[in-house]
Each structure stands twice: as C-alpha cells, then as structure tokens.
Amino acid sequence: MEMLLDILSWILLASGSFFCLTGAVGLLRFPDFFTRIHATGITDTMGAGLILIGLMLQASNWIVFVKLVIILLFSLLAAATACHAIAKAALKSGLKPRTKDNREIEPEEQPSKP
Amino acid sequence: MYILAAFILLIVMAFALIRAFKGPTLYDRILAVNTFGTKTVLLIAVMNFLAGRQDFLDIAIVYALINFISVIGILRFFEYSTKLPLDEDL
Amino acid sequence: MTAIAITRMGDLFAVVMLSGIYSLLSAALFLVLDAPDVAFTEASVGAGISTLLFLATLKLVPRYDKKSRYKPGLALGVVVATGALLIYGTLDMPHFGKVDAPVHEHVAPRYLNDSLEEIGVPNFVTSVLASYRGFDTLGEVVVVFTAGIGVMSLLRISRQAKKDAKAKTPPDMQQQVILRVVAKIMIPLILIFALYVQFHGDYSPGGGFQAGVIFAAGIILYTMLFGLSTAQKVFKHKVLEILTAFGVFLYAGVGFVCLFMGGNFLDYDVLRHDPVHGQHLGILLIELGVGITVASVMILIFFKFTWRTVKHKYNQ
Amino acid sequence: MNVLGLYNYWIVVILMLIGFYIVIAHENLVKKLVGLAIFQTSVFFLYISIGKITGATAPIFDEKWQLYSNPLPHVLILTAIVVGIATTALGLSLVVRIQEAYGSIEENDIQIQDTQDQLECQLEAYGIQESLTTFDQDIDE
C-alpha cells in the first residue's frame, strides 16, 4: 500500500513537472501573446494540480493534507481567473490575436492555433 | 524525486523570467509574473517536503494569495492609465 | 538570482514588475536559509503591498524614464571601488553556515534553549520578537505608525476635493464579472487566513506583522475591484485612524500594565499567576496590537494613494 | 575552499552594489526607490545568511530536530521589512508631492527649477528687473 502510494505520487509529480515544463517552453517559444497565454494558462493549472495531488499522497498528517487542498483550491481559482483577466485586458487594449490574415509579427512562421 | 520536481520548477521559473525580461508587450510580462508566482507556490510546496518541515505550507498559501492580488493590481492600475502605446520602446 | 537585479529598463512599469519577481525570489531564498517567518513577511510585503504602492505612484507620475545626461562612468567607478572594499572586508568574516560563528554564541543559545520553558511558545522567532525583544518591537511599531502619519499628512486632501472626486468616481472594474465573483469567494478566505496567521503565530510562521499585511492585502483587493467609495463605507477613515493609534496603545498599554502589576516594562510574567500563561497572554495581546496597527496603516496608505489617483483623473 | 566559504557575503555585496548603482546613477526618483529597496534586501540577506547554520532547521520547535538556525537575525529582519515598506511608502508619497510641485520626477529638472527660482529671488533682491530668458537658454544647452 505504502509502495503503491509512493509510486502513484511519483508518477503524478513527474507528469506535473512535465506539464509545467511544456507550458514554460510554450511561454518562451510561441510567437505572440495569445498563444503564450494559451500555452501557460492550461498547463499551469494541470501541472499545479498534478504536483499538489502528488504531494498530498505523501502528506504525513491531515493538517498538511488540508493545507495542500487549500493551496490547490486557491491556485485553481486564482490562476484561471488571473489568466482570464490578463487576456481580457490585453484584448481590450487593442492587442490583436495573430490569425492567418493578421500576422505582422514574424510573418514567415506558420501561425499556431489562436 | 522531490529534487527532480524542484529542479524542473526552477527551470520553468528561469523560462518565465526570460519572458519577463524580453516580453515585447506589457501583458507578456504580466503573464510571466503570474506564471512565476504559481511556480513559486509549487516550488515552496515541494521544498516543504524536501526540507522535512511541515510548517512551510502557510507560506505557499500566502504566495498564492499575494500573487493573485498583485496580478489583479497590475492589471487594474494599467488598465485605467491613459492610452499608451502597446509596444514598449526599450 | 542576481540576474534579476538588473532592473535598468526604460519603462518604469516593467521595473516595478521585475521588482515584484525579485522579492518573490528573495522570499524563496529566505526560506532556503531557514527563515520562514522572514519569507512570510517578504512575500506579503515585498511582492504584495510594495508592488501595489509603486504601481499607484506610477499612475501619478510619468511612466517613462528619461535618458540620463551624464555618463555613468563615475557612478560605476564609485560602485566598483566600494565593492572592492566591501569584499576585502568580508575576508575576515566567519564562513557561511558555520556553527561556531560569533553570532551564534551570545544570546541565541539562551533563546533557543530556555525560551520553551520560559515562554512556552514553539516558534522561537515569535518568542524573541514579542517577549525578549519586546521593547525593540514596540519601537518598530511606532516607526510604522509614524510613517503612516507622515504619508497621511503628505497626501492630505481637502474635504471639498474629496466631495468632488466622490461625485465623479467611476465604478472600477465593474465589467470584470468573473473577477468580481472569484474575488468575492477569495476575500473572506484571505481575511480568515490572516486571522489564522495572527493567532497561530505562536506555533507556525506568522504573527502580527504578517497578519496585518495579509489582512490589508485582502482589503486592498476589495478596494481595487469594487471601488474606493464602497470600501470606505466598510472601513471608515476615522475608524482606521483610531485603530492605527489603538494598536500602538494596546502594545504600550500591556507594557504599562506589567509595570503596574509589579514587573518590568513588557515583562508578561506577572500578567497571570503562572509565568508561562502570562507570557502567552502578553504575546497574544501585543501581537494583536502589532497586527491592528500594521493593517490599518497599510490600508490607510493605500487609500491615500488611491484618492490621489482619483483626484488626478478628475483634474485631467 | 578557504575563501569560497564566503560566497554569501559576495552575493550580498553584489546585490548591494547594484542597488547602490541604481540609486546614484539614475535620475528618476521612482527608480531610485527601487534601487533603495534592492539595497535594503541585500542587507536582509546579510543578516539572514549570518543566522543560517548548515544542517540546522527553521527555528520552530519540533521534536525531530536538535539544531536550529539563529532566530535573532530573523526577528530583526522581520521588523525591518515592515519598517522598510513603511518608509518606502513615505518616500513614494514624497515623490507624488514632488511630481505635483515640479511636474517632474527627474532630479535634473528639479535642480534646474530650483536654481532658476533661487536666481530669480536674488535678482529681485538686487532690484534688477532682468528677464531670465537668456539664462533659461543657457541651462537648456
């Protein structure tokens, strides 16, 4: 049982880290703002959730567990809301998503999904 | 295992930092700050287990809260400032 | 770590954001250096409040830095010379992480060994802060109080201007529905968490300073999302001013009560029959005083800055 | 090994110098305050790193641990941070007032305005009714 929990939490930690890493690569490499927020906004939530659940399985007493649950709730709420707010503010300020017709930045690359 | 996770999180934070330095628009920077903050929360949670002390999770909670508040603050103060050109002249 | 410090950019907004990241990082470093209490404070103060204050100032001043007219050569020379001297000075310092460094040999062992019996608080930082060095902390609280008064007098606004601005204040961020709903969920949690930090500071990292700042951060979030006038309906200006003074008064008052009951100033042993219980009560009370002062000073400072912003907008 | 054990002080020195450089080399007052904050943080690091003991843990009592880091620097720095933000707020409000009085937060502009005012006062005292336009041009160059 102990072994099983360990393995499970390791898997969760590893996959969470992997998601975070992909998100960061996206943040660094994607061509414009909206693709970047797409990359990080989703992987952030996923990665954070996986890592925190992985840690929860390792929690030694219930207070740690509860605190981790609180962090998870907060990050689920806050990360998604913050991303939404940033994207909305950017859109309102006149930042255009890069589409097929509108690619003034680095036009030689193929646009990724908006 | 914890060390691996912490290491990857550090790499992620470095990436976010580079984006915050480069960030062609201001929103890229805000996004980078946000990402950086969430990753710091995770890093502290992992570090909590790495160090073997169970008291550090409070700090992670504070980080999650403060990060949210500061992102909202940046947005709010930026949104209502006068119409500024999007691209910064760096 | 040090790479962050290169905040030499033209855009002040970017500078402020980078300084936010910088303080997050430094808080993480404090944590690595075994100082969770300090990390706590730095996270809530540096990353939260100070970033917001800088941003509020940036609304009032020009956003872009002017290029300097002078060559930075002289400044660089001075800096490098100072650095060389300082590094030369470090050569005599004890090594990093040594147990037998002189700092660890005077009062620290006493704190670490005896505070559990004398004070009965597991968090050594709290016991040193509130009991052994209580007088020091009283001074710090008074400094915060004075700074609050200073800001208030510097950013004073006449009553007429206040009325004018109130009539014209636009509803802030009314259109951000999702944000407001989430904030409505988050703010009570933030406030409860602040209270937890306040009263659980004896056992885990936390205490009056941190709790005050977190509480203020919750209120500031509310102010940012629902507008200043709404927030001021809940937190009246007068009440805040009185609370600011009340915190300091509570702290000093506990000290004087100790005097009257036959102990030294801020010597809580006499508050109850059992010294440990007395210490508990004393620490609880003065932490409460610290928390009240810090929270209300922070909220007041933020209100003042926001009022300036509103007035600024109105004048344009 | 002998010298490398001091690396924490070097980090502090470097941070301090960056802060110092920002304070003296930039004319923008807000940026000076950011530099001051960095300088402050470097001092915090100095204290905290002095308090650290290798192999020790955070100074909160726990049965599992025997060796704790020194709590005294933590206390000092904890209060120093809060006092630091209070003084920063004071500095920022001064900046706001300077902006309102001078219309600028660049040190240079403020100094120019000050000298101008001073000269005007002196000229008035001597009873000289001279226009200052030529002087303005001089300064602009």
HEC readout, C45-96: HHHHHHHHHHHHHHHHCCCECCCCCCCCHHHHHHHHHHHHHHHHHHCCCCCC
- Beta-carbon pairs below 8 A across chains B and C: 128
Identify from C18, C19, C22, C33 which residue to disrupt to test chain D contact, counting D C-beta atoms within 10 A and taking the largest count: C33
Token representation of residue C109: 């062992």
Dihedral sign of CA atoms C218, C221, C226, C232 in order: positive
D118 confidence band (pLDDT: 50, 70, 90) = confident
How many angstroms separate the CA atoms of C174 and C124, rounded? 46
How many angstroms separate the CA atoms of C150 and D83, rounded? 13
Using alpha carbons only, give the angle C140, C101, C84 rounded to the nearest 5 degrees. Answer: 80
CB contact under 8 Å between D86 and C297, yes or no, is yes
pLDDT at B90 over 50: no
Q: Average pLDDT in the C132-146 region?
A: 83
Residues of B in contact with A57 (CB under 8 A): none
Q: What is the mean pLDDT of chain A?
A: 76
DSSP state of D63: T
How many angstroms separate the CA atoms of D128 and C133, rounded? 62
Are C149 and C297 in contact, with CB atoms under 8 Å apart? no
CA-nearest residue of chain C to A85?
C179
Higher pLDDT, B30 or D129: B30
Are C107 and C133 in contact, with CB atoms under 8 Å apart? no
Find the largest Cα–Cα distance for chain C: 69
Chains that touch D (3 or more CB pairs under 8 A): B, C
Å between D134 CA and nearest CA of chain B: 34
Whether the pTM exceeds 0.95: the reply is no
CB contact under 8 Å between C12 and D31, yes or no, is yes
How many angstroms separate the CA atoms of D82 and B9, rounded? 29
Angle formed by the axes of helices C275-315 and C51-60, nearest 10°: 20
How many angstroms separate the CA atoms of C279 and C271, rounded? 8
Highest mean pLDDT among A105-114, C70-79, C157-166, D128-137: C70-79
pLDDT at C13 over 70: no
Q: Which of C313, D106, C189 lies closest to B77, judged by CA?
A: C313
Query: Is the Cβ of A67 closer than 8 Å to some Cβ of chain C?
Result: no
A111 confidence band (pLDDT: 50, 70, 90) = very low
How many angstroms separate the CA atoms of C299 and C305, rounded? 10
DSSP state of C121: -
Å between B1 CA and nearest CA of chain C: 18
pLDDT at D138 over 60: no
Are D29 and D96 in contact, with CB atoms under 8 Å apart? no
Percent of chain B's residues with pLDDT above 70: 80
Identify from C1, C4, C12, C24 which residue to disrupt to test chain B contact, counting B C-beta atoms within 10 A and taking the largest count: C24
Q: Average pLDDT in the B11-37 region?
A: 79
H or E segment and range at residue A98: none
Highest mean pLDDT among C4-8, C60-64, C283-287: C283-287
CB contact under 8 Å between B86 and A95, yes or no, is yes
- Measured torsion, CA atoms of residues C227, C230, C234, C237, in degrees rounded to the nearest 10: 70
What per-residue confidence (pLDDT) applies to A39? 81
What are the distances in angstroms from CA B52 to CA A13, A60, C42, C97? 17, 10, 22, 19
Query: Is the Cβ of A64 closer than 8 Å to some Cβ of chain C?
Result: no
Higher pLDDT, B6 or C117: B6
Of A14, A55, A93, the CB nearest to B49: A55
How many angstroms separate the CA atoms of B50 and C286, rounded? 34
ipTM attached to this prediction? 0.78
Token representation of residue C261: 């009951």
